[in-house]
Amino acid sequence: MRKLLIPLLLAVSIATMGTIGSIDGVPIGNIGSIDGVPIGNIGSYCGLSKVSLVLEGQMPPAASGGIDSYTKLMLHFDGTGANFVDSELAPTKTITVIGGATQSATQSKFGGKSMYLAATTDYLSTAQSTDFDFGAVDFTIDGWIYPTSIPAGQMELISKATDGTHKWSFNYTQTAIQFWDYTGAGFGIQTVQPYTLTTNAWYHLALVRSANVYTIYVNGTKIGDTYTNSTAVSAWSGATLVGHYHVGYIDEVRVSNGIARWTANFTPPTQNYTQ
């Protein structure tokens, strides 16, 4: 019989020990023991009154996931100076520094460092990739920001453009957080949700498209209204930019294509994403 796993962080099937019944047709009472304690005597494990018993290799991922096949960009910003690394599953992307973008230990949400952008001309760039062509499927963009200044205009967490008038962007202003896709003649997609950011504080931002419904979350809480639009996000042919026009720190940026990581309010991540 395959060994049992006791996942404590990604519990996906919660039950009290007394109600599980059997695994692979074998009654729990006949399985044996965990850590030397007979199964029949275990009411809790590691101080938890509820645990999840899942057969090895059969534990599905939590909705928010980590680094998986849906992850198309994963930036931890825990490296040295201008040496930025994409930590998605292979193949990874080459990250190009524009201006003075660097990694700093002055502020960090996870890992001891974050990306520091001293001016609106500091940001990161990746080459053209269809990984960022979302089309009409579900997708999620999330990351942490720590603005030290909030100038007029739009500060981007991430964007992709062919040129200045053919572009999609997930960004924030002095009064709102928004996602839009501008097609030259106008906005094919545009959700603008009122929100006032303050300086010198960490915020977790998440944009989720689930079945044509767009939702923006700040620190795990939906802001404003949902926005419904079945139009496909444009597949622009240029580079993807991270942190353009942002002034301050950014940490743990992830782009997920093909999955809605969250569809209701959630607890923001408490550690960096892992495989």
Kindly report, residue by residue over 155-194, the tens digit of the pLDDT: 999 999 999 999 999 999 999 999 999 999 999 999 999 9
Paired strand residues for 217: 206, 222
**Do the beta carbons of residue 243 and residue 122 sit within 8 Å?**
yes
Distance of CA 119 to the CA centre of its chain: 25
* Residue 38 structure tokens: 């007979």
The burial class, CB within 10 Å (0-12 / 13-18 / 19+), for 187 is middle
Q: Where are the domains of the chain?
A: 4-55, 71-257
CATH number of 71-257: 2.60.120.200
Cβ atoms of residues 255 and 138 within 8 Å: no
Q: Percentage of residues in the chain with pLDDT exceeding 90?
A: 76
For residue 71, give both structure tokens: 């992850």
Q: What is the pLDDT of residues 195-217, one digit of tens each?
A: 999 999 999 999 999 999 999 99
- Single-letter code of the amino acid located at 104: S
Average pLDDT of the chain to the nearest whole number: 84
pTM of the predicted structure, to 2 decimals: 0.78
Which residues, at least 6 apart from 185, have a Cβ–Cβ distance to it below 8 Å? Answer: none
